[in-house]
Structure 1
Amino acid sequence: MTDEGFDVGGRLRQLRLARGLSQRELAKRARVTNSTVSLIEQNSVSPSVSSLKKILDALPVSISAFFAGEETSHPRPFYRASELTEIGDGKLSWRLVAARRPDRRMSILHERYPPGADSGAEMLEHDGEEGGVVIAGQIEITVNGEVGMLGAGDAYYFDSRLPHRFRNPGTEECVIVSASTPPTFSDAGQELPHA
């Protein structure tokens, strides 16, 4: 779930304590078990994007703000591959460009879906728009009941408030470069975002 050196548990604990919440109260607000919050804070488990998103919505903090931390210098225009922030769940890889850039108005992701990967059986819905281009492999995207199978060079663009899902039914990894706005992925209370 994390890029090297990012302490998910420590960051969650910091945000929870800053809001004066107990683990139990945060779990109740997020509708997850108390042990889920505890295990994540101890870095004993790598949370799925869905679980982490539920917890962050209860704070409320966006996924991008969670991983952003503090920008230590002025915004810069270029980022090396090693500087992209991993916000995936250990199965799906979603690497965010310029995660620590202050006042970012969009999210750009380098996404990797291994064979069989799925954004989840529960359809995603959040404010904003998103689009992307398939770089390699194939991806099945469902948007508001319409299913499309996209291959390298194909693209998508849709209103993110429509129920949607991403799935790789193929035998090779699918790579996508995507963008979404606003960068917060969803408003508090919504379920798992797709970047």
Structure 2
Amino acid sequence: MDIGHKLRTIRKQRGLSQRELAARAGLTNGTISLIEKNRTSPSVASLKSLLDAIPISMAEFFSTLEESQAPKVFYKAEEFTEIAPVSEGQVSLRQLGNAEHHALQVLHETYPAGADTGPELLSHNGEEAGIVVRGSIEVTVDGNVAVLNAGDGYLFDSRLPHRFRNLGDAICVVVSACTPPSF
């Protein structure tokens, strides 16, 4: 997916200038320009701030049309939708199905060693839960910090400021869910 092009298209459809979007999102005009030209990839938190400023959810931004009339039930790994900018060493968030058509958003998250969701804390409507499948992850929720290992999990009100960081040397994999789909 061409994130920069899609962001520019939606920004223009909503009648926003780069300056106005930058001010709303707390970023610089230059940063918006670089993202729209695909010269830089925003952190998950920065992209969330940008989309909140438009406003549009991550699920809506990365939605894909399900082609058949009947609801799709089964998905191959390659059919998941990447909703976080993918580049070397960054967090990968892969969404199962089109969250716009469901009350639940399910993500397959991969955190390379040293990766995190960004220095800004995330906050959005809903509740989220997850289970660490592999590795370990530091989770911060409303000032509380815990390191979770494979088999451990979390469940919290997503309106509370939160952040995920892989402080280890190995990849961390998490399967998470958010309801309603607001991320």
Scaled by the length of structure 1, what TM-score is found?
A: 0.82
Aligned partners of 1:122, 1:39: CA distance in 2, in Å? 19
In the alignment, structure 1 segments of 5+ residues that lack a partner are: 1-5, 186-195
Aligned partners of 1:140, 1:25: CA distance in 2, in Å? 34
Flag the 1:32–1:164 CA change in 2: closer, same or farther, 3 A.
closer
Q: How does 1:1-195 map to 2 (within 5 A)?
A: 6-74=1-69, 75-89=71-85, 90=87, 91-99=90-98, 102-185=100-183
How far is the alpha carbon of 1:62 from its aligned partner? 0.7
Q: Which amino acid aligns with 2:97?
A: A
Give secondary structure in 1 for the equivalent of 2:62. Answer: helix
Q: Which runs of 4+ in 1 moved over 6 A?
A: none
Is the Cα contact below 8 Å between 1:23 and 1:38 reproduced in 2?
A: yes
Q: Which amino acid aligns with 2:136?
A: Q
Give deviations 1:135-178, integer Å, cap 9, x for gaps.
11111222233332221111211122223222222221111101
Is the Cα contact below 8 Å between 1:71 and 1:102 reproduced in 2?
A: no
Give secondary structure in 2 for the equivalent of 1:178. Answer: strand
How far is the alpha carbon of 1:94 from its aligned partner? 0.8
Give secondary structure in 2 for the equivalent of 1:133. Answer: strand
How far is the alpha carbon of 1:102 from its aligned partner? 4.2
Is the Cα contact below 8 Å between 1:140 and 1:150 reproduced in 2?
A: yes
Q: CA RMSD in A?
A: 1.9
Aligned partners of 1:102, 1:140: CA distance in 2, in Å? 29
Give secondary structure in 1 for the equivalent of 2:101. Answer: coil
Give secondary structure in 2 for the equivalent of 1:123. Answer: coil
**Structure with more contact order per residue of length (Cα contacts < 8 Å, sep ≥ 6):** 1
Count of residue pairs the alignment pairs up? 179
Aligned partners of 1:76, 1:137: CA distance in 2, in Å? 31
In the alignment, structure 2 segments of 5+ residues that lack a partner are: none
Aligned partners of 1:118, 1:30: CA distance in 2, in Å? 19
Aligned partners of 2:127, 2:153: CA distance in 1, in Å? 14
